[in-house]
Amino acid sequence: MSLFFDLLSGSMMITGLVFFVGTVTGMLRFPDFYTRMHAGGKGDTLSTILILLGAAIHVFEDFFYDPLQWGVLLVMVKILAIAAFIMLTSPTSTHALMRAGFEDAHEADETVVDKDQDGPSLEELQSGTWEERS
């Protein structure tokens, strides 16, 4: 059973690290502001939560073998609270940054713009000149 907990928490942490590598790669390699923020927002949130969950499971193991250790359970609850907090705030801060970039008229890279699309271009949206066609 101990092996089960170790494997579970270890694999979660390692998966989190893998996503972190993806996040960093995306932040460095993606062509423009919006795609970089996309990588940062998604990868960062998921990997942080995964690592925190791994830590929570690792702590829970102690409680599992000795249910009288209420303090340990409290630590786990605190870690889970941090995870919930990250899940709420990290995407929001990414959104805020993205929004600020949008209002600051950051340009999108032409390789990621879908030219065949019927909708408005980014510039039209930013300047507010686009009106929905009926």
Partner 1 sequence: MIWQLDLILLIFLVITALISLRVRDLLGASMVFGIYSFLICLLWAGMGAVDVAFTEAAVGAGVSTVILVATVYHTRRVTGGHKRASGMKLLSLLLMLVLGGVLLHASGDFPALGDPTSPANNHPVAQYYIEGSYQDTKVPNLVTSVLADYRGYDTLFETVVVFVAGIGILAVIGVPTARMRREEVCGDTAQFGEDSDLIILQTCRLVVPVLQLFALYVIAHGHHSPGGGFQGGVLFGASYILLALSGGLREALRRLSESMSFRLAACGIVIYAGFGLLCMALGSSFLDYAILDSILPGGVAKARSHSMLIVEAGVGFTVTTILFVIYANLATRGKLEGGL
Residues that bind partner 1 (CB under 8 A): 85, 88-89, 92, 95-96, 99
Least separation in angstroms between residue 91's CB and partner 1 is: 8
Least CB distance to partner 1 at residue 93 (A): 9
Residues 27, 97: Cα–Cα separation, whole Å: 14
Residues 6+ apart with CB under 8 A from 45: 86, 87, 90, 91, 94
Closer to partner 1 by CB, 77 or 113: give it: 77
Shortest separation between residue 100's beta carbon and partner 1, angstroms: 10
What residues have CB less than 8 Å from 39, skipping those under 6 apart?
22, 23, 25, 26, 27, 30
Residue 103 CB partners (closer than 8 Å, separation 6+) = 126
Of 14 and 100, CB closest to partner 1 = 100
29 or 95: CB nearest partner 1:
95
Closer of 8 and 36 to partner 1 (Cβ): 36
Q: Shortest Cβ distance from residue 28 to partner 1 (Å)? A: 17
> Which whole-number Å values give the CA distances from 45 to 29, 37, 118, in the listed order?
19, 12, 32
